[in-house]
Amino acid sequence: MCGIFAIFSKTGGPIGSKRYFKNFQSLREIAYQQSGKQRKHRGPDDTGLELIQDHGVCLVHERRGIVGFRTGHQPLVSADGTVLVVANGEIYNYLEQSAEIAKKRGRYDPKSDCSVIVELYEEYGEDLFDYLSGMYAFALYDKKTKNVMLARDPIGIIPLYYGYDKDGNLFAASEMKCLIGVCEKIENFPPGMMYYGKADKMEFKCHFKEKWITEIPKEPANLVMLKQKLESAVRTHLHCDVELGALLSGGVDSSLIASIATKIMREKDKNFKLRTFSVGLEGAPDFKYSKMVAEHIQSDHTELVFTVEEGLDCIRDIIYHLETYDITTVRCSIPMYLLTRRIKSENIRMILSGEGADELFGGYLYFFKAPTTEDFHKELVKRVLNLYHSDCLRANKVSMAWAVELRVPFLDRDFLNYVMSIRPEDKIPGDLNCYTDKKQHRIEKYILREAFSDEDYLPNTVLWRQKEQFSDGVGYNWIDTIKEYAASHITDEEFDMRTKLYPINTPETKEAFYYRQVFEEMFPGDYPAKTVMKWIPRTDWGCSSDPSGRAQASHQAHK
């Protein structure tokens, strides 16, 4: 997991030596300085820069080595030197693709997992995405055609922003902060999309087209296949050249990933112990269950106990790294931020996590209020396609704040497409027909739990534990206190001016106002504000607008 930065001339020729800031005199200096805003956390291992002065192109790569640790220097360059790529992410099927490339070329030794992007582009052009499985964002430049290709993975697990300076030159970066000061217009690059063409004619093309996005699925659940596909997803996500670990909240999602990973790793080493990590306030609900799972899978487990004060100290730091002011994301990112720092101190560079399961299976408690199965599926689709605004954004940016790569097996492309193609009546929670056509009250994520109930993956207490959102599970006092703390910074007079001050995504509470105020100091202007989408339950279904799971009627407090 790394950071990328790129500049592409509007004309395809030299940009010149115009000064963006007082001390900037060259395109190389601009690129190196702006990319430096993500260098310490996204690129502690290496910086690679390629300048094509005559074309007005500069590509920068800030590297955190996970695969091909000694050989994966970027920018990646084709054999004839005409195609250059800077990529951030992991290509999970690179070994398979490397083997196919070798068959055609006689020999091919990839320098890293992302190396195959170059060869697949040379072979298939715009259709290369049909052959990629992974999480990625990349910028490619073709010297022969002077074409640019920008692309992002189907769900937006990896962040990518783009923008234009006052002269219309195109910029792209892993983090928005790298574009502040040089771009007049900044946008969040949409997931599942690519741009291919000249830098001054930006038109998006979708490379992720699935029936479940526009149609209501009719395929019944097959629990055997569901189980096999998740195990396969975890297996592909385990490949790395560094020590790995796993987040373990004690909820069913992270617990299943940790358990499956342990079983797979013990195929080669029966004494393998997975490093697992949990976080919370003293006496947090999650600790009871994460400890139970750790004992069950015999992991090397670490609990990080933090104080409310330590969490509150991080608010400004977390908004800077997240580049959002969304209440839900800020609340739950701070404990994870503190935990990831601890994980880094243990010399672990890659961790597995359970993000995405709630969106695929309907795990949030407000889904109990879904009026119909059709409404339920449409809401799932909406949540999945907007993960890049919330959980994916949080998972990537919080972990990379400390140069730790986080992988999300639930969002593996094959697994994602299978689960989202299951008919909604098999997934919806509540008093409806389940996939066995029996009437019963179903807990959220029922089919996921049932698929792993026939073997000793998890203790039943954990396997059938009700959803507890991460920001609640770390300790109920956390959300209560951060709400009060944030609100204490905003006077009634300031709050009354909220519509005038912030016409875009106007804050509805003093807590939201405070986060927005901090965000505006760091990322001023309308364009950065528009990159944020607020995460709230469906109030039109009769749900509370507070994103905390405890605010939903179906929540049961854990003791």
Could you tell me which of 180, 139, 146 has the C-alpha nearest to residue 163?
Answer: 180
Greatest Cα pair distance, the chain, in angstroms, is 72
Q: Where are the alpha helices (DSSP H) in 346-487?
A: 357-361, 373-385, 391-400, 413-420, 446-451, 460-463, 470-473, 476-487
Cα–Cα dist 391/58, whole Å = 31
48 contact partners, CB below 8 Å, separation of at least 6:
60, 61, 63, 73, 74, 75, 86
- Tell me if 94 sits within 8 A of 110, measured CB to CB: yes
Q: Return the number of other C-beta atoms located less than 10 Å from residue 47's C-beta.
A: 18
Residue 244, CB half-sphere, CA atoms under 13 Å: how many?
23
Q: Tokens at residue 11, please?
A: 């004309």
State the angle between helix axes of 327-345 and 315-322 in degrees (0 to 180), rounded to the nearest 10. Answer: 100
For 138, list phi and psi in degrees, rounded to 5. -150, 160
Could you tell me which of 188, 204, 206 has the C-alpha nearest to residue 196?
Answer: 204
Could you tell me which of 234, 226, 247, 238 has the C-alpha nearest to residue 361?
Answer: 226
Cα–Cα dist 503/529, whole Å = 10
Burial (0-12, 13-18, 19+ Cβ within 10 Å), 340: buried
The helix (run of H) or strand (run of E) holding residue 63 is strand 57-63
Cα–Cα dist 259/302, whole Å = 16
For 271, list phi and psi in degrees, rounded to 5. -100, 5
* Paired sense of beta strands 430-433 and 439-442, if any: antiparallel
The helix (run of H) or strand (run of E) holding residue 522 is helix 510-522
Among 2, 114, 434, 543, which one carries the catalytic annotation?
Answer: 2
3-state secondary structure string, 134-166? EEEEEEEEECCCCEEEEEECCCCCCCCEEEECC
Residue 2 bears catalytic tag: yes
Catalytic residues: 2
